[in-house]
Chain A
Amino acid sequence: MTYVPHSEEDRRAMLDTIGVHDMADLFTVVPEEVRYPPLRIPKAVSELEILRELEALSERNADLGHYSCFLGAGAYNHYVPSVVDHIISRSEFFTAYTPYQPELSQGTLQTIFEYQSMVCALTGMEVANASHYDGATSAAEAVIMALGTARGKRRKAVVSPYLHPEYRQTICTYTQGMGVEVVGDKNGVVGLDGLKALIDEQTACVIVQNPDFLGRLESPAILMALAEAAHAAGALFVVSVNPISLGLLVPPGEYGADIVIGEGQPLGNGLNFGGPYLGFFACREQYVRKMAGRLVGETVDVHGRRGYVLTLSTREQHIRREKATSNICTNEGLCALAASVYMVALGKCGLIQVAELCYHKAHYAAERIGKIRGFSVVGDKPFFNEFIVKCPMNPVDLNRRLLQEGIVGGYDLANDYPELAGHMLFCVTEMNSRADIDHLVDTLAEVAS
């Protein structure tokens, strides 16, 4: 089975038309010494066989459908309404590519325009692009955009130590050839005041996450003060957010953000072992010409009818080449469509409701866990749906015990913050029923005693 339709007669006739004797004649330009190497790939299997094999392989995983999951840390277990997969499975959407021919792509273009509109509404921004690869690469592109906005005159990025550690690592990978200094790792940085002290005339941007990687929320007034400090130094203020939290919380646009980025996966995309996800990216309109990625704009056709096209392409690699704002071409279009369908399905009331479910359930869990002997919930800041728990035993061992009880436990913070060894980050969403939370609490109590 090779999904090729030709019979031997077809091939014969086509070779005759081309004017060659056999298939091998098409490849004589390839140096003979490297031509037709052996390819050690297993023998072809049928559809039935591959599905059976993959199902068997998937059974070696702990399927979260059979566990209650309290793990978040950047990838979140949310309910995905049935309409999402139904719509993104329409092959007119998923077998299309970038809408270079607008007359044949109004479906893709209008859905992107609507996605841009909803991301702007959610974040309080004026412009959103059609997606990046994930939250981490959105963060890296935000730094590059800030450098571009400063026309190369500023070489420093102040990055909160509580931005997702993998976002920080990605920023460092992306900018390693650009001569950029990434500051704000934990040494000497305490709270937002510590970050503020690092801002100077070399600073291109200041990046914070809210809720931060440890789940903590900062008040809009305090974030606004940081934004003002960044602006006073001529730097851009970048905020990374969990989009579900914005069902409840003040959007970063209202506390001075110039760029808002984040992981879009919680919006209607499954966990999928880390991908494909989507990075959302929104900013103030004054910076749009330095933005990366596809943008869809409204216009009219020759008859005056409303329609949509890719616009401001002069920012992009296929037009500007080495002077482009980014090299991005393929993005995460179908994941952005899933996010759109999710936002429409939930709508205004639904997104608020999901955010509230996460908030109240997480607080219920935190309160109960905090009462277990040996455990304590750390910190006095408000949180959204993740919180830090100090454990009486090694989180790795604790998680193994939880797993035996059908629970996927929290994130071991020692991975990224050595000073938080023995601490776990628990996440609660609408997927965790009260019974699940009670079971977690009972199990923790039992394990600790």
Chain B
Amino acid sequence: MTEPLIYEISRPGRCGCFLPELDVPRAGLPKDMLRKDLQLPEVSEVDLVRHYINLSQTNWGVDKGFYPLGSCTMKYNPKVNERAARIPGFVRTHPYQEQATVQGNLKLMYELQDFLVEIGGFASVSLQPAAGAHGEFTGILMMRAYHHDRGDTKRTKILIPDSAHGTNPASTTMSGFQMIELPSDKRGNVDMDALRAACDDTVVGLMLTNPNTLGLFDEHIMQIAEVVHDCGGLLYGDGANLNALLGIFKPAALGFDVMHYNLHKTFSTPHGGGGPGSGPVGATEKLSKYLPGPIVAKANDQTEIYKLVMPEKSIGRMKSFFGNFGIMVRAYAYIRMLGAEGLKAASEDAVLNANYLQARLKKTYPLPHDRLCMHEFVLEGKVAGAADIRALDISKRLIDYGFHPPTNYFPLIVHEALMIEPTETESRETLDAFIQALEKIAEEARTDPELLHSAPHVTPVGRLDEVKAARDLRLRWAPK
């Protein structure tokens, strides 16, 4: 039984909220500006609550079970963070209040900037970008500003490995640059010959995810940084995979000039069904002055007074106000509760869990790059002796066993990719149960493939017709 649309349970005259009576005289309304009709639903509060609770129960979340969606770092979201973010003295502050009246907020932001500086090894951080892709776009605009500031306007190319997230090339286009794709070598590293051949005085920089989307640490990282820097280019770090390296190494020490962080991945803030996230950007000394702002600074060294400032040659603002503050509070609480030791332990266990799954699952599914991984790894969703089974079938069948599927068909360089990121918050028992399910599914693929083709069987709806959705566009409710 599927839940009706909210419009379908609407009845004229119902209302789910009572507001105070008007306590001032009515003013004249501008008659030519008034709307005739407003088609919003009319439901009681209890109808509303049941509607959303019923819908929530058709959803999968980290709190319900294992969610090994590769590249998304679906770790457990500590509940204290939610409480922290709802402290009234944080929630009930306006972004344009006089700065003297929001010193608590500014101090928290200042300290969070500092923590991220320390974790990344950078000189400064701007908390303004709202998501990872927003941070990437920021970073490329900063690289552009750096070159232009030196009077070098002939650089138009951004190098991007073929294993990169789709946001990297998309951010490149938005910055007005051309993407040059670099192949990967047999071990999953950037192909050094291709990199050397591409590096010249038209290169803005290289966008690199390290560990990359195969979950592999690039074995030539120091040479890569050298080659890029030697041609006058810059090295951008896609911090999507930062969860593998807290306290293990600092990206700036590997030669990254600018990098974004994903507070909603690495620092455990919830993914919210698609967002909000937060994508702060860190930069080395030479790029700091181009950061978007405002950012928080101390008024002077002697006092505990904080102020908002615009970096000297800022690319400008990336959005209104100062960033997703509510997400910053959660990330701040998380970092403080883990401390340096806890952060390092989190990364170690994230890498341990991924390698444990990889070591056991490679016996059942092909592992195209067979070496130690970092926090995630990519299998081929193929089963020997079951030629018509695809990664999608395996994923859908996993749902029947009570697991959220891995990321499918990404990265693009692995056929039938199943990208698995367990995170550090999963127990050995959970990982073992997941392994058993995948082993059972491989067996079913050979003995009863239809079971996979018709999966999932336990969800409120079966496989959905995506072609029809795109062909017969129905993007909103309309009265019959």
Chain B residues with CB under 8 Å of A311's CB are 466, 469-470, 473, 475
Given contacts A102-B461, A103-B461, A121-B39, contact A92 B57 (CB under 8 A): yes
A119 to B456, CA, bound (A): 33
Identify which of residues 288-311 in chain B touch chain A, using a CB-to-CB cut-off of 8 Å. 292
What residue of chain B has the Cβ atom nearest to residue A174's Cβ? Answer: B174
Q: Which residue of A lies closest to B292 (CB)?
A: A173
Instruction: List, in ascending order, chain A residues with CB within 8 A of B102's CB.
Output: 61-62, 273
Query: Which of B61-69, B380-388, B438-446 forms part of the interface with chain A?
Result: B61-69
Given A10-B428, A121-B38, A346-B16, A87–B131 Cβ distance below 8 Å? no
For chain B, residues 4 to 53, give those with C-beta under 8 angstroms from any C-beta of chain A: 5-7, 10, 13-17, 19-20, 22-27, 29-30, 32-35, 38-43, 45, 48-49, 51-53
Question: Could you tell me if A272 and B91 are in contact, using CB atoms closer than 8 angstroms?
Answer: yes
- Chain A, residue nearest B395 (CB): A101
A393 to chain B, nearest CB (A): 16
Contact A326 B55 (CB under 8 A): no
Given known pairs A332-B276, A364-B27, the reply for A347 and B104 (CB within 8 Å) is no
Residues of A40-66 at the interface with B, using a CB-CB cut-off of 8 Å, are: 40-47, 50-51, 53-55, 57-65
Complexed CA–CA distance, A405 and B176 (Å): 51
Interface range for A: 35 or more
Cβ-based interface call for B323 (8 A): yes
Docked-complex contact A334 and B84, CB < 8 angstroms = no
In contact, A249 and B35 (Cβ under 8 angstroms): yes
Residue ID in chain B nearest A349 by CB atoms: B15
Q: How far, in Å, is A6 (CB) from chain B's closest CB?
A: 6
B97-140 vs A, CB cutoff 8 Å, 1 = contact: the mask equals: 11001111101100000010011010000000011111011001
Return A323 CB to nearest CB of chain B, in Å.
7
B88 near A63 (CB under 8 angstroms)? yes
**Total inter-chain residue pairs, C-beta < 8 Å:** 692
Interface presence of A337 (CB below 8 A): yes
> Is A359's CB under 8 angstroms from B248's CB?
no
On whether the beta carbons of B326 and A103 are closer than 8 Å, the reply is no
Partner of A45, one of B82, B92, B274, B337: B337
Bound-state CA distance A23–B297 (Å) is 39
Q: Which residue of A lies closest to B472 (CB)?
A: A299
B58 x A106 contact (CB < 8 A): yes
Number of interface residues of B (CB under 8 A): 201
Supposing A96-B59, A288-B475 touch, asked if A271 and B94 sit within 8 A by C-beta, the answer is yes
Given A96-B271, A220-B32, A271-B93, A13-B428 contact (CB < 8 Å): yes
In the bound assembly, the distance between CA atoms of A398 and B296 in angstroms comes to 25
Check A2 against B342 for contact (C-beta < 8 Å): yes
Question: Known contacts A92-B56, A95-B61, A324-B166: does B275 contact A61 (CB below 8 Å)?
Answer: no
B38 touches A345 (CB 8 A): no
Whether A104 pairs with B60 at a CB distance below 8 angstroms is yes
Residue B229, interface by CB 8 Å: no
| Alpha-carbon separation in the docked complex, A111 to B102 (Å) | 34
Assess the B475–A297 pair: CB atoms within 8 A.
Answer: yes
Do the beta carbons of A344 and B16 come within 8 Å of each other? yes
B266 within 8 A of A: no
A371 at the interface (CB under 8 A from B): no
The answer to whether the Cβ of A386 comes within 8 Å of any Cβ in the partner chain is: no
A197 at the A/B interface (Cβ < 8 Å)?
A: no
Give chain B nearest CB distance to A357 CB in angstroms. Answer: 6
B42 touches A276 (CB 8 A): no
The reply on A230 being an interface residue by CB < 8 A is: no
A103 near B463: Cβ-Cβ < 8 Å = yes
Given B10, B35, B250, which contacts A250 in the complex, CB threshold below 8 Å?
B35
> In the complex, what distance in Å separates the CA atom of A349 from the CA atom of B44?
12
A188 to B420, CA, bound (A): 58
Alpha-carbon distance A263/B319, docked complex (angstroms): 11
Task: Identify the interface centre among B2, B315, B351, B408: most chain A CB within 10 Å of its CB.
Answer: B2
Query: Which of chain A's residues have a CB closer than 8 A to the CB of B159?
Result: none
Chain A contacts for B59, CB-based, 8 A: 92-93, 96, 104-108
Complex A-B: 30 CB contacts under 8 Å: A5-B426, A11-B352, A29-B219, A31-B222, A39-B246, A54-B108, A55-B87, A61-B102, A64-B97, A91-B62, A91-B77, A95-B62, A103-B399, A104-B60, A106-B2, A108-B273, A110-B3, A111-B273, A219-B33, A270-B92, A274-B321, A275-B324, A288-B475, A302-B464, A307-B464, A317-B167, A330-B133, A334-B272, A349-B13, A353-B19
Q: A106-B59, A330-B264 are in contact. List 6 more A-B contacts (CB 8 A).
A: A36-B247, A50-B333, A51-B80, A60-B103, A127-B476, A273-B93
